[in-house]
Structure 1
Amino acid sequence: MGMGHQKKLVLGGLTASSVFLYILCVNLESSMTWSISPLKHFHNFSLVLWSDSRDSEEPLNRQINSDQQQTHPPPTLTPYPGTAPPKHTRATTHTPKLKTHKDSDIVAGEKPAEEKVLDVSNSSSKSDGVDKAKTGTITKGPAPKPPKPPEPPEPAKARGPTDPPFIGDSYMKEDHPPQTDCPDGIRNTIAKTDFGGRFLKNIPVLQWANHSTREQHERLKKYPGAHGWGGIDYNTLVETLTVLNTSANWQMLDDWKQLSNGSQCIRCAVVGNGGILKDSKKGKEIDSHHYVFRTNGAIINGFEQDVGSRTTHYTFSTNTLMNSMRSYAGVGYKGPPVTKETRYVFLPDHDRDYLLMKAAATHTLVDRGKERGKDPTRYFGKDVSAQKLKMYHPDFIRYLRNRFLRSHALKTKYKNIYRPSTGAAMLLAAMHTCDKVSAYGFMTPDYKNYSDHYYDRKFHSVGFFINHDLRMEMNLWQQLHQAGLIQLYMHK
């Protein structure tokens, strides 16, 4: 056989092999795309999630310890008042398959937003329910119409067995007189809207010393995470809430008398961290409100023109605070705002929140747990005092979940880790304490046009996670805006 003929045979063989390998790679690539998931999920069967304006969750592996006796009378509980539980107009989506990742994983490479849309999600400056069913595409243009009015009232007894026990739709009632009599404020106008049957004027937004009774601990230890005191032993509860013993601790707007300057209505700006705020030039408008609420990785320096400079209320959980400090240090986040007017509002979903709160109020180091040995003044400044600390009541967070954000996640095995995002809790808390609420940096139907955060140096699409329902939250903000209960900033 001639040398030239041998070379032709070798060349032909190599060409055929290359074609075969190319076809194989194409087939493998197309067959594997379905398995890519944006979720960061279980390690030892516990979900570990992260975000800034949406929150990270710690595994719910707490144990309940024995109680100590205390002899305060039990509070009044308010059952669901005569209307059916709220129903939401939502798109049909699929619960994702979960992958196993290490706890150290945060967020890996993301697919386009359409492929990450989940029925249950993660949020604070985002959320919705306006997508076309099953397609994963987003309907842009005009805001979605509000849902139909609730169905006719049903007797509480007839409806009771339909709710599983973990829902717990009865709440403590406290009769604190309103701080204003604003004629067109939320409290006086909500009854005329579709939200009137859901809204409780007398539910405690914050917990404080008077709530740490044995009876209340027995009632609330049935509910895990942010929705109760499950896993919070009675000693820890009493030690923490005992330091919250002044009116400044149970009033969200404790300095209103000094700040009001004759104003009849309390105006609050609630600022999420969404990318819609980039180049918005809304800073002066935000700062002109009586109160300015922020959450998690709220970076202000360098962004004042768009997001303002004041912070009167900073809402966080210990977990989201620590994650924000780790994840956003590179873009300028050094910790919570520290100013004379700033109050720190804990959203407790773990005993570490109670331990950090107690240490901050007493100017001591955290004595145990994940933050053991840490100095709270590192986060809240040298001048932090008990009067500047507040903590959401678990009844309030459970009420928000049950009546405003009752996600499909509650019908899945993830029900114990689902809760309203920190940003959602902050915005709804403002609705329960302010007369006029303006929301900035929260998710809107055109969210794919903006990066995840206003301070992102490169574009990052919004991620959806299982412990919050971003899409339901976005839908709720649209409904509240159309009802005239909040003013939601949207690009026009």
Structure 2
Amino acid sequence: MMDLSLKKLFFLVVVGTMSCIFCYGFFSTEPVLKIIRDRVSLTWSAVSSTEKTGEPAPVIKNQDAAQKGQEHKQDTQPGMLSQANEKPNHGPNAKLQDNPPKVVTTLTAKDKPSTPAKPKPKTTKASTASPRTTKAKTTKAATTTNSKNKPKTTANTIQKVLPVLVTPTLVPPMNKNDFKKMPEWDFEDIYLREPQPRQTTCPESIMASEDPEFKKAFVPDIQIFMQKEHFSRSEWNRLVHFNNPFGFMGGNYTQVKEAIELIPKLKDYQLLPVPKTDPQGCIRCAVVGNGGILNGSRKGEEIDSHDYVFRMNGAVIKGYEDDVGKKTSVYIHTAHSLTTSLYLFKKAGFDSIPHDEGIKYVMIPEGMRDFQWLTGLLRNTSVAFGPYRNRRPWKEYAGQFDINRFYVLHPDFLRYVKNRFMKSKQLEGPHWHIFRPTNGAFTLFLALHVCDVVDAYGFITEDHNKYPNYYCEKAKTRVIFYINHDYNLEIKTWKKLHDTKILKLYQRKDEPQQHQKP
């Protein structure tokens, strides 16, 4: 029995030795060694890239959006995009995701924006919901160095180092001309969330809507306003992937940073206080557009009966009080709409924007000229750069500018409105980068997020050809459809929101009798 066991043991030793020799001979062949070296090298390169920038590499979902010759490999997973009830954490204490979405390629190459980005191998995973921290998972293969003096580095040690917060390098500038249609990134539908979302006790509130489509799209705690705490290198690197006004693509980092860091922290996250006179705690708002449907409507008294009234652009009031009311609680504008309206509607008596006592001004930052305007406005100095150079912005607010009553819409809110409610087919064409919803559309969706009950007046309807372009025009004029807006989509959207009782849209049924300014 003993001799048999020794023979069996000897046989096993011999077989094991021969197996080792065979394996060594097989794996020492050049092709196999090359595969191993390449795999280890690619793993280390991917980890180094993530470690260097401190940012997850972006994934472009619609790879056909890239210009010819520019490759963007795609690797998506179910659940990669945020859902309506998700709350991604973008703060400085953001936690790493347990199952971060895959990252396959990056557009942050050292080359110029027009240089095609080369796809990288599928080796890392990174979190897109928390751009400030990145957790990269590597293969189990250990990487070693040939030098005896250098410490041995393994995948495990690399993984421990990566979560450490580092100051990320800036993503190289992106250009809208690099894409033949709107690019959709894997974090396209992920937004900052309001730390103190509005609460309501109103039984009629929009938030109580049971319409399934609206409930799926509506995010009650979306970050509406921008503050200085929202700007960082990580946030710049995230938002630079989106064209204005939905992000900072093509923007000047220094000028944008300077402007945003002047925006003070909000003292009150709720734009409009609940009226003490309403026993149910409802905030009732009227949003007044400038459409010709209001000419001769006699809706002024009804408009003014609301708790708050929103207006935008060339909100001519003097002489048209019977049709449009005279109260303004919130005025929404861009630098362009403000300055241009004062010129275009001067003959109609629009010599200053609304300046009611205690009025709140909300700005849409649609491009670099708005950030340049903001810097001059918030510093109380002349504009230093751009088309408004040497202008003194605060003079345009008719003595009612108060930094505590001035708000700037966040690019995430603007992109959310576009993605969830105003996804135009124009985004699929070569002019995708000039499309955006109208100022009136942004105003209406702002009201839907800060009010309980919303009534819309002066917005475009199916029978718009019956009315002049603007209510302040004396003669019948044709409604102009500008190429940077999708008016047909807005017509359908307002009608749908009205039919589902999300808001009440003024739709005139009588034959219009044009009101002449006295």
Indicate which of 170, 180, 188 corresponds to 2:208. Answer: 188
Gaps of 5+ in 1: 1-70, 72-76, 84-161
Residues 271 and 293 of structure 1 are in contact (CA less than 8 Å); yes or no, is this contact kept in structure 2?
Answer: yes
1:79 aligns with 2:81: yes
The equivalent residue for 1:21 is none
- Residues paired across the two proteins, number: 336
1:208 aligns with 2:227: yes
Residues 371 and 185 of structure 1, relative CA distance in 2, 3 Å threshold: same
Give the secondary structure class of the aligned counterpart of 2:309: strand
Give the secondary structure class of the aligned counterpart of 2:343: helix
Residues 455 and 163 of structure 1, relative CA distance in 2, 3 Å threshold: closer
Residues 311 and 341 of structure 1 are in contact (CA less than 8 Å); yes or no, is this contact kept in structure 2?
Answer: no
How far apart are residue 194 of structure 1 and its match? 2.4
How far apart are residue 181 of structure 1 and its match? 2.0
Equivalences for 1:33-432 in 2 at 5 Å?
A: 79-81=81-83, 164-165=183-184, 168-189=188-209, 191-248=210-267, 250-253=269-272, 256=273, 264-432=281-449
CA–CA distance in 2 between the matches of 1:277 and 1:257? 28
Structure (1 or 2) with the larger CA radius of gyration:
2
Residues 258 and 239 of structure 1, relative CA distance in 2, 3 Å threshold: farther
How far apart are residue 184 of structure 1 and its match? 2.2
CA–CA distance in 1 between the matches of 2:508 and 2:301? 17
**CA distances 1:334-381 after superposition (whole Å, capped 9, x unpaired):** 231112222111111111112222322332222222111112232112
How far apart are residue 328 of structure 1 and its match? 1.6
CA–CA distance in 2 between the matches of 1:417 and 1:460? 25
Identity over aligned residues, as a percent? 35
Residues 201 and 280 of structure 2 are in contact (CA less than 8 Å); yes or no, is this contact kept in structure 1?
Answer: no
How far apart are residue 78 of structure 1 and its match? 9.8
Residues 244 and 367 of structure 2 are in contact (CA less than 8 Å); yes or no, is this contact kept in structure 1?
Answer: yes
Residues 257 and 473 of structure 1, relative CA distance in 2, 3 Å threshold: closer
Give the secondary structure class of the aligned counterpart of 2:216: coil
Give the residue type in structure 2 aligned to 1:293: F
How far apart are residue 82 of structure 1 and its match? 7.5
CA–CA distance in 1 between the matches of 2:182 and 2:228? 31
CA–CA distance in 2 between the matches of 1:249 and 1:360? 21
CA–CA distance in 2 between the matches of 1:343 and 1:216? 27
How far apart are residue 172 of structure 1 and its match? 1.5
Residues 250 and 375 of structure 1, relative CA distance in 2, 3 Å threshold: farther
CA–CA distance in 2 between the matches of 1:78 and 1:232? 28
Which structure has more relative contact order (CA 8 Å, sep 6+)? It is 1
Aligned residues: CA RMSD: 2.4
Give the secondary structure class of the aligned counterpart of 2:433: coil
**CA distances 1:425-470 after superposition (whole Å, capped 9, x unpaired):** 1001111111000000001111111111110011111111211101
CA–CA distance in 2 between the matches of 1:379 and 1:327? 15
CA–CA distance in 2 between the matches of 1:364 and 1:378? 11
Give the TM-score of the pair, scaled to structure 1. Answer: 0.64
Give the TM-score of the pair, scaled to structure 2. Answer: 0.61
Give the residue type in structure 2 aligned to 1:362: R
Residues 360 and 385 of structure 1 are in contact (CA less than 8 Å); yes or no, is this contact kept in structure 2?
Answer: no
CA–CA distance in 2 between the matches of 1:176 and 1:386? 21
